[in-house]
Chain A
Amino acid sequence: MEHLTSETFDSNARAALDDAQLRGALRNATSLFGKRRLAAAQSVSNWEGLRSKARSIKDETLLQLDKYLEEFTANAERAGAQIHWARDGAEANEIVKRIVRERNGRLVVKAKSMTTEEIHLNAALEAVGVEALETDLGEYIVQLAGETPSHIIAPAIHKTRYQIADLFVDKLGIAPTDDIATLTATARAVLRGKFAAADIGVSGVNFGVAETGTILILENEGNIRLTTSVPKTHIAVMGIEKVIPRFADLEVFLKLLPRSGTGQHLTSYQSLITGTKRDSDGEGPDELHILLLDNGRSRMLAHPTTRQSLACIRCGACLNACPVYQQIGGHAYGSVYPGPIGAVITPQLIGLKKAAQLPYASSLCGACREVCPVKIDIPELLLHLRAEITEKSQAGDRTSAASKPKTSERLSFKAWAAVMTRPRLYEFSARMARFFQRLIVKGNRIGKVEGLMAALAPPLAAWTSVRDLRPIEAKSFREQWREQSLP
């Protein structure tokens, strides 16, 4: 399957809007997650306080990220973990490949991890003949179909049970069925064989605790426990922003993340792993490798607005709340991270040029900011990125694919500003407009009237092709005010 890119966001979105099945699935998923999130948030007496607390912990960490990373790595190493550093995705993949090669690994089982999606680890491993198998049910389905996840916490919401059944019949040779329990049991049986045979388990990390060197991973299915318990070697890929100062800080995040993501009070399982086993006969892997990934994150520290991006705990609440995501789903963004948070993280990770349309994929309604458990001001970030895009294009950055404002657009805004700052000119213009609009108003509407409007004014036709434009009223507010208040 051909994967979409951020550069073609507009056409991706248009195609998604024509997909009735996708939109139905999105409507169900986003409204269900949204309702559950709200109920779960209301089960805590001081939700706002928790959010503020979480954000202050993240801010505190990010402002001294170097110090907390030193502390985290020192404590993790003391407990037996091996720490690796990667400046970018290519370097991270090289490190993982080397660890796998040195252990003659042929089969890698993977727990769901956005960070390994970000660096395209599976493709890198497959290129050197290592099978990298996703084990989260949704991720497994998506991988089997040769697709990419469409939602941070529900990767396969874009597929129906019938499509999944067809996929399993085709790829796994099962008898036709549309029973979800049978499909789930099929995946369980196939994957248990893989867990038993796997040489290496690769996971992500939700939180890394500086004061203990502990990594914490949350899940519901148990595949992360299997990935981190059964194979002899465990590799945990962790963005450098995942560190938090204290073990006790986990409480706040354990309350916020499941409630914001799936609306649960707690997910079924949390694995808290601190280095390797003390007793060589003990259960669990012999080796733990923690791979710390920068890949553009440290750059985001340079401004308080962009720095907020690093507070994200990947809950997916902003996706469910976003009126744009609700209509087009995750694939249209053409990026690993979709939705509002994807629209701000992606341009910072892969560059404004490649993702110039994403900061505009928002009505700035602020729903994402309302639900964010760490109070990231996503609309502020979107505006910040839009400003950067505009500055770059005005600075004559010809290579930039950033939407360069047209001359007519710039002139229109100049004229608008001139009129709006001069009351007399404004009133005069309004009277003129009211006079001339008679030419194009029919049935108290502008536009969509026998194509007249479209023919008259091409730049304005873009507006009227999908919605009505109300004509200017016979008397302005100012005129009415003067009549009322003057004797």
Chain B
Amino acid sequence: MTPLAPNQSNNEARAAIMQSIRAHLASSPTIELIHAPVIANEQVAAVAHESSPVETFVERLESVGGHCLVVRDEADAAAALADIVSALQGSTSASRVALSDASLIARLTQGLEVEMAVSPAAADLFNYDIGISTAQAGITETGTLILEAEKERNRLVSLLPPVHIAVVNSRDLHLTIGDALAALRHENSLSRAITFITGPSRTADIELTLTVGVHGPKELHVIIIDDGSIAPSKSD
């Protein structure tokens, strides 16, 4: 695709807008800036005291309609994945599964007896029933998954099929949105496309009635691999 030719009128527009901004700011009476204090995240800290990050993550994600399973290791994760897929085969006659290109997903789906394809083309992907990917990270306080498109071909498999199954490691959970943003920012370079996912696709545009699966997945299943090495829950 050829980039647009440099455009004379656009340079003019840029100069005119910048000039207008500077002139109007210069003509403005001055006011003192109020510098607000940095926000302490007391609420999340309180939650974190009551339960482990994994428990909080699960509670938050389930409160917005996501389904969660906490497993100890990869073998359990593969079994959980097989259970979810076979249940969907029974209930919705799901038959085609699209996978991201993550090596973890390849390992976990080895034994699945279902039609599978790794990262099909977008046009084809519209006809798949289930998409499986990992998430690079999560946010505990909101039950959010963070998908980075540069680390895995997860952008479309997590979006086009009506069911998305995601696998995340408990070590990759950040307590707050702020922690997650800081971690993303402090990588060598910011991923070009990052998606935060909190629950299934939803709308309330008709009579304020909640309906899931309007454009994105109707169901979101999250398998959390938690070997218990991080902040064991009180019940353990």
Contact = CB atoms under 8 A, between A and B. Distances in A.
B185 interface: yes
A214 B3 contact: no
B33 A65 contact: no
Given A82-B4, A283-B155, A180 B206 contact: yes
B119 to A, nearest CB: 8
B24 A301 contact: yes
Interface string A269-287: 1111111111100111011
A212 B192 contact: no
A266 B198 contact: yes
B16 A248 contact: no
Contacts of A221: 201-203, 214-216
A251 B178 contact: yes
B196 A270 contact: yes
B234 interface: no
B165 interface: no
Contacts of B156: 229-230, 283
Nearest to A136: B205
Contact of B34 (A59, A191, A192, A267): A59
B84 interface: no
Q: Which of A56, A181, A298 counts the most chain B CB atoms within 10 A?
A: A298
Contacts of B217: 222
Nearest to A53: B36
Contacts of B182: 248
A438 interface: no
Contacts of A247: 181, 184-185, 190
B43 interface: yes
A49 B36 contact: yes
Given A229-B159, A268-B197, A301-B25, A46 B42 contact: yes
B1 A286 contact: yes
B195 A271 contact: yes
A376 to B, nearest CB: 14
A409 to B, nearest CB: 31
Q: Which of B16, B178, B201 counts the most chain A CB atoms within 10 A?
A: B201
B123 A191 contact: no
A467 B144 CA distance: 52
A99 B7 CA distance: 12
* Chain B interface SS verdict (over half): loop
Given A29-B208, A95-B10, A266-B198, A294 B193 contact: no
A107 to B, nearest CB: 14
A292 interface: yes
A302 B27 contact: yes
Contacts of A277: 149-150, 192-193
Nearest to B182: A248
Range class of the A interface residue count: 35 or more
Contacts of A282: 149-150, 153
A276 B1 CA distance: 13
Contacts of A300: 24
Contacts of B18: 66, 69
Contacts of A161: 206-207, 209
A242 interface: no
Interface of B: 1, 3-4, 7, 9-10, 13-14, 16-18, 20-22, 24-25, 27-29, 31, 33-43, 46, 60, 64, 119, 122-123, 126, 141-142, 144, 149-150, 153, 155-156, 159, 176-178, 181-182, 184-185, 190-209, 211, 213-217
27 contacts: A55-B36, A56-B34, A63-B25, A69-B18, A79-B192, A80-B192, A85-B14, A137-B206, A159-B206, A181-B211, A192-B215, A196-B122, A221-B202, A222-B215, A229-B122, A247-B185, A251-B176, A252-B39, A255-B177, A265-B142, A266-B144, A266-B177, A268-B198, A274-B190, A274-B191, A277-B193, A298-B20
Given A84-B7, A273-B193, 12 more contacts: A45-B41, A52-B37, A85-B17, A196-B123, A212-B185, A226-B159, A250-B177, A264-B64, A266-B198, A279-B150, A298-B20, A302-B27
